């Protein structure tokens, strides 16, 4: 089960938004454990991994459109993405794309990401400084 859901993360709906979360495993009672908090009654959906190469390119272009020459970029990449990129032999290309676009960047692999009051996984957060 973990392999299927590792490549197909879950989405949890909160209002009009969908937040991605990775499966941590199966509990003894057969229920699923998630890496991000999921409250009882939360609507969940199985998602497909998008075209992460294209998404990475679009993200870089969007950042550079807003801030032409960032002085520093801090990247927080979910460990689930890091492992997926390693499995897909994409991690080196991913790191090179970021390094080429942002000569001064520091990357971290983390267990989950916090967006205000929302906790999610399988995401990349960038803190970009002018």
Query: What was the pLDDT predicted at 6?
Result: 63
At 110, the pLDDT band (50, 70, 90 cuts) reads confident
Concatenate the DSSP letters of all residues of 17-80 into one string: EEEEE-EEEE-TTS-EEESS---TT--EEE-----HHHHHHHHHHHHHHHSSS-SEEEEEEEHH
At 3, the pLDDT band (50, 70, 90 cuts) reads low
- The span from the CA of 70 to the CA of 19, in Å, is 28
Q: What is the mean pLDDT of residues 63-92?
A: 92
Task: Name the percent of the chain lying above pLDDT 90.
Answer: 39
| pLDDT tens-digit readout, 13-30 | 888 888 888 887 888 998
24 or 93: which leads in pLDDT: 93
Q: Please report, for the chain, the start and end positions of each structural domain, with discontinuous segments joined by +.
A: 2-129
Residues in the chain: 130
| pLDDT tens-digit readout, 20-63 | 888 878 889 988 888 777 888 889 898 888 898 999 999 999 99
């Amino acid at each position: 089960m973990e392999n299927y859901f590792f490549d197909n993360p879950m989405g949890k709906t909160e209002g009009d938004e969908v937040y991605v979360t990775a499966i941590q495993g199966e509990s003894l009672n057969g229920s699923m454990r998630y890496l991000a908090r999921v409250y009882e009654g939360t609507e969940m959906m199985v998602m497909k991994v998008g075209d992460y190469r294209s998404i990475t390119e679009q993200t870089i272009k969007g950042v550079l459109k807003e801030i032409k020459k960032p002085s520093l970029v801090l990247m927080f990449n979910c460990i689930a993405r890091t492992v997926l990129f390693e499995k897909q032999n994409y991690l080196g290309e991913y790191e090179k794309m970021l390094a080429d676009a942002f000569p001064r960047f520091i990357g971290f692999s983390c267990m989950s990401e916090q967006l205000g009051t929302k906790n999610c996984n399988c995401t990349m957060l960038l803190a970009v400084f002018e």
